[in-house]
Amino acid sequence: MTVTDQADNCFSKKEILSILSTVKDPEIPVISIQDLGILQNVDVSGQTVRVDIIPTYSGCPAMHTIKTDIKQALGQHGVVDMEVRLLDQPIWTTDMISPKGRAAMQAYGIAPPLSINEKKISCPQCDSTHTTCISEFGSTACKALYRCESCLEPFDYFKCHA
Ligand SMILES: [Zn+2]
Protein backbone atom coordinates (compact mmCIF):
# COMPACT_ATOMS: atom_id res chain seq x y z
CA MET A 1 0.00 0.00 0.00
CA THR A 2 2.75 2.42 0.89
CA VAL A 3 4.55 1.63 -2.34
CA THR A 4 1.45 2.50 -4.39
CA ASP A 5 0.94 5.70 -2.44
CA GLN A 6 4.46 6.79 -3.17
CA ALA A 7 4.08 6.11 -6.87
CA ASP A 8 0.88 8.14 -6.91
CA ASN A 9 2.65 11.07 -5.31
CA CYS A 10 5.22 11.43 -8.05
CA PHE A 11 4.36 14.05 -10.60
CA SER A 12 5.68 14.80 -14.03
CA LYS A 13 6.39 18.36 -15.07
CA LYS A 14 3.66 18.00 -17.68
CA GLU A 15 1.09 17.13 -15.01
CA ILE A 16 2.11 20.09 -12.90
CA LEU A 17 1.88 22.45 -15.89
CA SER A 18 -1.58 21.13 -16.65
CA ILE A 19 -2.66 21.77 -13.04
CA LEU A 20 -1.14 25.26 -13.20
CA SER A 21 -3.06 26.04 -16.39
CA THR A 22 -6.19 26.09 -14.20
CA VAL A 23 -4.76 28.91 -12.07
CA LYS A 24 -6.11 32.18 -13.43
CA ASP A 25 -5.19 35.77 -12.82
CA PRO A 26 -7.58 36.89 -10.04
CA GLU A 27 -8.16 40.20 -11.84
CA ILE A 28 -8.76 38.65 -15.26
CA PRO A 29 -10.31 35.23 -14.57
CA VAL A 30 -10.11 34.19 -18.24
CA ILE A 31 -6.33 34.27 -18.47
CA SER A 32 -4.05 31.67 -16.89
CA ILE A 33 -0.84 32.64 -15.12
CA GLN A 34 0.99 30.88 -17.93
CA ASP A 35 -0.68 32.94 -20.68
CA LEU A 36 -0.10 36.07 -18.62
CA GLY A 37 3.60 35.23 -18.67
CA ILE A 38 4.20 35.35 -14.93
CA LEU A 39 4.85 31.61 -14.61
CA GLN A 40 8.62 31.33 -15.02
CA ASN A 41 9.81 27.90 -13.91
CA VAL A 42 8.42 24.60 -12.76
CA ASP A 43 10.78 22.16 -11.10
CA VAL A 44 9.70 18.67 -10.19
CA SER A 45 12.09 16.57 -8.18
CA GLY A 46 10.51 13.36 -6.88
CA GLN A 47 7.60 14.52 -4.76
CA THR A 48 8.83 18.07 -4.43
CA VAL A 49 7.37 20.72 -6.71
CA ARG A 50 8.84 24.18 -7.01
CA VAL A 51 7.07 26.93 -8.90
CA ASP A 52 8.65 30.30 -9.71
CA ILE A 53 6.52 33.29 -10.60
CA ILE A 54 7.23 36.96 -11.21
CA PRO A 55 4.93 39.89 -10.38
CA THR A 56 3.23 41.86 -13.15
CA TYR A 57 4.53 44.92 -11.37
CA SER A 58 6.20 45.19 -8.00
CA GLY A 59 3.70 45.47 -5.20
CA CYS A 60 0.77 44.13 -7.19
CA PRO A 61 -1.68 42.96 -4.50
CA ALA A 62 -2.88 40.10 -6.72
CA MET A 63 0.42 38.24 -6.30
CA HIS A 64 -0.48 37.05 -2.84
CA THR A 65 -3.75 35.61 -4.15
CA ILE A 66 -1.97 33.95 -7.07
CA LYS A 67 0.52 32.31 -4.71
CA THR A 68 -2.31 30.98 -2.56
CA ASP A 69 -4.23 29.79 -5.64
CA ILE A 70 -1.19 27.89 -6.95
CA LYS A 71 -0.73 26.11 -3.61
CA GLN A 72 -4.42 25.32 -3.44
CA ALA A 73 -4.55 23.90 -6.98
CA LEU A 74 -1.47 21.75 -6.42
CA GLY A 75 -2.76 20.63 -3.02
CA GLN A 76 -6.07 19.56 -4.54
CA HIS A 77 -4.17 17.26 -6.89
CA GLY A 78 -2.23 15.65 -4.08
CA VAL A 79 0.97 17.67 -4.11
CA VAL A 80 2.13 18.01 -0.52
CA ASP A 81 5.73 19.11 -0.78
CA MET A 82 5.74 22.39 -2.67
CA GLU A 83 7.37 25.77 -2.77
CA VAL A 84 6.11 28.84 -4.63
CA ARG A 85 8.74 31.51 -5.05
CA LEU A 86 8.16 35.08 -6.13
CA LEU A 87 11.20 36.15 -8.14
CA ASP A 88 12.48 39.69 -8.70
CA GLN A 89 13.88 38.79 -12.11
CA PRO A 90 13.15 38.81 -14.98
CA ILE A 91 11.05 41.96 -15.03
CA TRP A 92 7.64 41.20 -16.43
CA THR A 93 6.66 43.03 -19.59
CA THR A 94 3.39 42.97 -21.46
CA ASP A 95 5.20 41.22 -24.33
CA MET A 96 5.23 38.10 -22.13
CA ILE A 97 1.46 37.78 -22.55
CA SER A 98 0.81 34.99 -25.06
CA PRO A 99 -1.33 35.57 -28.18
CA LYS A 100 -3.92 33.26 -26.58
CA GLY A 101 -3.86 35.43 -23.47
CA ARG A 102 -4.32 38.63 -25.47
CA ALA A 103 -7.26 37.13 -27.33
CA ALA A 104 -8.85 36.02 -24.04
CA MET A 105 -8.46 39.51 -22.55
CA GLN A 106 -10.02 41.13 -25.59
CA ALA A 107 -12.95 38.68 -25.53
CA TYR A 108 -13.39 39.43 -21.82
CA GLY A 109 -13.75 43.15 -22.59
CA ILE A 110 -10.36 44.33 -21.38
CA ALA A 111 -8.11 46.07 -23.87
CA PRO A 112 -4.88 44.03 -23.96
CA PRO A 113 -1.67 45.98 -23.37
CA LEU A 114 -0.14 47.57 -26.44
CA SER A 115 2.64 45.78 -28.18
CA ILE A 116 5.53 47.87 -29.44
CA ASN A 117 4.02 48.36 -32.90
CA GLU A 118 0.67 49.70 -31.71
CA LYS A 119 0.28 53.30 -30.71
CA LYS A 120 -3.33 53.74 -29.78
CA ILE A 121 -5.47 51.77 -27.35
CA SER A 122 -8.43 50.30 -29.19
CA CYS A 123 -11.91 49.71 -27.80
CA PRO A 124 -12.51 46.01 -27.00
CA GLN A 125 -16.17 46.43 -28.08
CA CYS A 126 -15.90 48.09 -31.51
CA ASP A 127 -12.14 48.28 -32.23
CA SER A 128 -12.25 52.07 -32.55
CA THR A 129 -8.96 53.74 -31.66
CA HIS A 130 -10.79 56.93 -30.73
CA THR A 131 -10.44 56.37 -26.99
CA THR A 132 -9.78 58.56 -23.97
CA CYS A 133 -8.26 57.77 -20.60
CA ILE A 134 -10.77 58.70 -17.89
CA SER A 135 -8.81 57.51 -14.89
CA GLU A 136 -5.34 56.06 -14.34
CA PHE A 137 -6.94 53.64 -11.92
CA GLY A 138 -9.67 51.32 -13.11
CA SER A 139 -11.42 48.57 -11.17
CA THR A 140 -8.04 47.54 -9.75
CA ALA A 141 -4.62 49.16 -9.51
CA CYS A 142 -3.37 47.14 -12.50
CA LYS A 143 -5.94 48.67 -14.83
CA ALA A 144 -6.78 52.13 -16.12
CA LEU A 145 -10.28 53.23 -17.03
CA TYR A 146 -10.86 54.30 -20.62
CA ARG A 147 -13.86 55.39 -22.62
CA CYS A 148 -14.50 54.75 -26.29
CA GLU A 149 -15.55 57.94 -28.09
CA SER A 150 -17.17 55.94 -30.90
CA CYS A 151 -19.51 53.65 -28.94
CA LEU A 152 -19.21 55.60 -25.65
CA GLU A 153 -18.57 52.40 -23.70
CA PRO A 154 -16.14 52.60 -20.79
CA PHE A 155 -13.58 49.79 -20.57
CA ASP A 156 -10.60 48.67 -18.55
CA TYR A 157 -7.15 48.83 -20.03
CA PHE A 158 -4.52 46.51 -18.60
CA LYS A 159 -1.63 48.82 -17.88
CA CYS A 160 1.87 48.24 -19.16
CA HIS A 161 4.58 47.63 -16.64
CA ALA A 162 5.39 50.84 -14.81
ZN1 LIG B 1 -16.14 51.32 -28.86
* % of the chain residues with pLDDT over 70: 86
What's the gap in Å between 46 CA and the centre of ligand 1? 51
What's the gap in Å between 135 CA and the centre of ligand 1? 17
Binning pLDDT at 50, 70 and 90, where does residue 111 land? confident
Task: Single out the residue of 9, 5, 16, 89 nearest to residue 51, CA to CA.
Answer: 16
What's the gap in Å between 155 CA and the centre of ligand 1? 9
Distance of CA 10 to the CA centre of its chain: 27
Check residue 137 and give left, alpha or beta (phi > 0: left; psi -120 to 50: alpha).
beta
Binning pLDDT at 50, 70 and 90, where does residue 162 land? very low
What's the gap in Å between 158 CA and the centre of ligand 1? 16
Binning pLDDT at 50, 70 and 90, where does residue 118 land? low
Average pLDDT over residues 80-96: 91
What's the gap in Å between 29 CA and the centre of ligand 1? 22
Contact 60, 142 (CB under 8 A): yes
What's the gap in Å between 57 CA and the centre of ligand 1? 28
**Residue ranges of the chain that CATH labels 3.30.300.130:** 2-86
What's the gap in Å between 142 CA and the centre of ligand 1? 21
| pLDDT tens string 1-39 | 444 444 456 789 999 999 999 999 888 889 999 999 999
Q: 160 φ, ψ to 5°?
A: -70, 160
| pLDDT tens string 48-87 | 999 999 988 656 678 889 999 999 999 999 999 999 999 9
Average pLDDT over residues 108-128: 79
Identify which has the larger pLDDT, 116 or 159. Answer: 159
* pLDDT, averaged across the chain: 85
What's the gap in Å between 152 CA and the centre of ligand 1? 6
What's the gap in Å between 97 CA and the centre of ligand 1? 23
Q: In terms of pTM, does the model score above 0.75? A: no
What's the gap in Å between 129 CA and the centre of ligand 1? 8
pLDDT given for residue 59 in this prediction = 63
Hey, what CATH topology would domain 2-86 get? GMP Synthetase; Chain A, domain 3 (3.30.300)
